């Protein structure tokens, strides 16, 4: 009941740019965030940014953080994984404060789509 699309990349100087959009049909929530942090550890990426649009205007300006795991390609590969987006007050956490152990308890298989971490 949730759709997430995102792109995030770091340039040669280490600056991160990107965007993410979430549509959570179960609760009627839609939001966008401007990605400003990308932390890649192997096949796991932790992404964070500022919420710029939200169906609840009180969430605008909060930090959103989520993680994905690229399970590989092909029918024999394990499924890609994702967490929900967690919201924090600005300045509390960014993706650079978190690692694989922090994301692991919250990762669930995606039902459709493809995550690529490289």
Mean pLDDT by 10 residues, the chain (118 residues): 89 92 92 95 96 94 96 88 95 95 96 86
The pLDDT value recorded for residue 80 is 93
List the beta strands (DSSP E) in 1-118.
2-10, 16-24, 29-41, 44-54, 63-69, 81-82, 86-88, 108-109
The model carries a pTM of 0.92
| Tokens standing for residue 106 | 């919250």
Dist. CA 20–CA 17, nearest whole Å: 11
């Amino acid at each position: 009941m949730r759709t997430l699309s995102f792109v995030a990349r770091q340039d040669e100087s280490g600056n991160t740019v990107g965007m993410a959009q979430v549509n959570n049909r179960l609760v009627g929530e839609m939001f966008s965030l401007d990605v400003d942090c990308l932390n890649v550890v192997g096949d796991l990426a932790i992404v964070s940014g500022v919420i710029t649009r939200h169906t609840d205007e009180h969430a605008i300006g909060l930090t959103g953080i989520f993680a994905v795991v690229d399970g590989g390609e092909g029918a024999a590969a394990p499924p890609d994984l994702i967490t929900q987006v967690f919201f924090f007050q600005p300045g509390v956490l960014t993706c650079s404060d978190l690692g694989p152990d922090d994301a692991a308890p919250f990762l669930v298989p995606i039902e459709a789509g493809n995550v690529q971490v490289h």
